[in-house]
Every structure is written in structure tokens, then in C-alpha cells.
Amino acid sequence: MQAAVIQMLSVPDLASNLRQAQQLLIQARQQGAQLAVLPENFATFGMVSEQLMQAASIVQAWAQQITQTLGLWLVAGSVPVYNPTLDKYWARCWLFNAQGQIVSQYDKQHLFDATVLDQQGGYRESATYCPGDSLSVVSTPIGRLGLGVCYDLRFPELFAELRRLGAECIALPSAFTQVTGAAHWEVLVRARAIETQCYLLAAGQGGDHPNGRQTFGHSLLVSPWGEVLQQASVGEAVLVADCDLDYLHDIRQRMPVVAHKKTLLGSD
């Protein structure tokens, strides 16, 4: 079954980003994709907090329409969804089926509070966002799919739990910085694929954005053996590859790492 990873260079304009995403999704469907993954903040990248309040409902309506029109399953990147109790946003990833229905959602659990030696210098997502606290794995045309978002990639325990829940493929909408991406992006994606013996569908933002941010791009699809099946550079890209579940289960049968896993206890 064919999956697509979409790389974007989003701008602080919701309508423009949705038009860009639509054209890339049309290309993905024309190339045979049955499910596509958009990057983190694909519709709202660079927008300020006051602009985010209405974005979720607009993006949801757009995604419902485009998935029905194209007959395409869609991992709708991440979208800021307001939490009135905390006066912050969840970084929410929706999974739509080809009938335009939300069949799963995931709120980013690990928030990017870090000092990075780039033009921005530091990031504090927790000032605007609140973390999620649950995982789910659901059946899709490309297999059982789990969801993560960007900084989650650095926490292998989350991916191990998705595997325990039955994941065969894991979608990872992202927006790695140029600095962190150049150092760590590919090796982390491949490591998570190898550890979980899952297909990794890692969709990034890629390039120089109008707000001064530099994102790494290099979106990729990785096999459960850690092979890079397709990879982008920077700028817009549509990557399509086959998620061969027979191949996946053969790897798991020949190297049953989950069955071999031990609970390690430290000494007193």
C-alpha cells in the first residue's frame, strides 16, 4: 500500500498554506498514495497566538472536504487546538479517513523547550502549548498506524509503546530546526524505525520561512529495517513509497526483538 510524505515551506498565512497543501495532496493521490502525512503546523507555521484561535475549525473543515474529494486518508500534520482551561493550545494531529471522518487524534506530548544555536536562539513551546497524555493506534489502508509529533522523536519509550499497541507504521509530522535536523534528524528517524520495526513516515517543514525560522526539511520514509526509501532535500516535496506489510512481518519473525525485551532493574 502506498503512503505519501508531504514536505512544505509554510508561511504565516492560513489560506495560502491550505492551497499549497491541497496541490501537494493532489500530486500524492495522482502518484497512487492512499494515505498522506502533512508536516507540523502545516497550516499555521509562523502565525502569532491571536491568529490561532479560529484556525482549528477552518483546517478541520478543509481536511474533511479534501479527503472526501480525493478519496485519501490524511494525517493532518499538527494544528493548534485551544484549551480554555489552561489558556493554551494542544498541538493536535488528526487522522482523517477517506470519508472525511476523524478516526484518531493525538496531542503532542513532549514540548520543545530548548536552547538551539540558530537565529532564534531558544524555543519554549510550553509557553503556548500544553502536552497531551494519550496514544492510539488504528487500522488504515497502509496498516495499523500510530502518531507522534516532532520532538516526540527523541523519546524512544513513546515509540516502543506505539509498537506495543500494535503499530506497523508511525506518522511523524515535524518541523525540525536547521541546526538540530542537520545533526540528528535522519539518525533518529531511522533508529525509531529499527527499534520498533515499523515504517516511519516523517514529514517536515523545509527551508527559510518569512518569519526568519530555518527548518531542516529532508522528509523521509524509512522501512522497518531502517532503509531510507525516499528522502527530500528542502522546499516542497511529495514522497511516495510502498508500505509492504509482508516484508515488515518477515523482519519481525526473523528478529523478534519485542519477544526478547527484558525489564531492566537498577541495583540499590
Catalytic residue list: 40, 108, 150
181 φ/ψ angles, rounded to the nearest 5 degrees = -65, -45
- Do the beta carbons of residue 204 and residue 214 sit within 8 Å? no
Crossing angle of helices 186-196 and 156-164, rounded to 10°? 30
> What's the CA gap between 223 and 83, in Å, rounded?
36
> What's the CA gap between 84 and 48, in Å, rounded?
17
Grouping H, G, I as helix, E, B as strand and the rest as coil, residue 226 is coil
Give, in order, the Cα–Cα distances in Å from 100 to each of 29, 35, 170, 180, 220: 15, 12, 20, 35, 26
- Do the beta carbons of residue 36 and residue 26 sit within 8 Å? no
Task: Tell me how many degrees the CA angle 191-194-200 measures, rounded to the nearest 5.
Answer: 80
> What's the CA gap between 107 and 102, in Å, rounded?
14
Crossing angle of helices 55-70 and 14-30, rounded to 10°? 20
- Bridge partners (DSSP) of residue 93 are 106
C-alpha dihedral (83, 95, 126, 183), degrees to nearest 10: -170
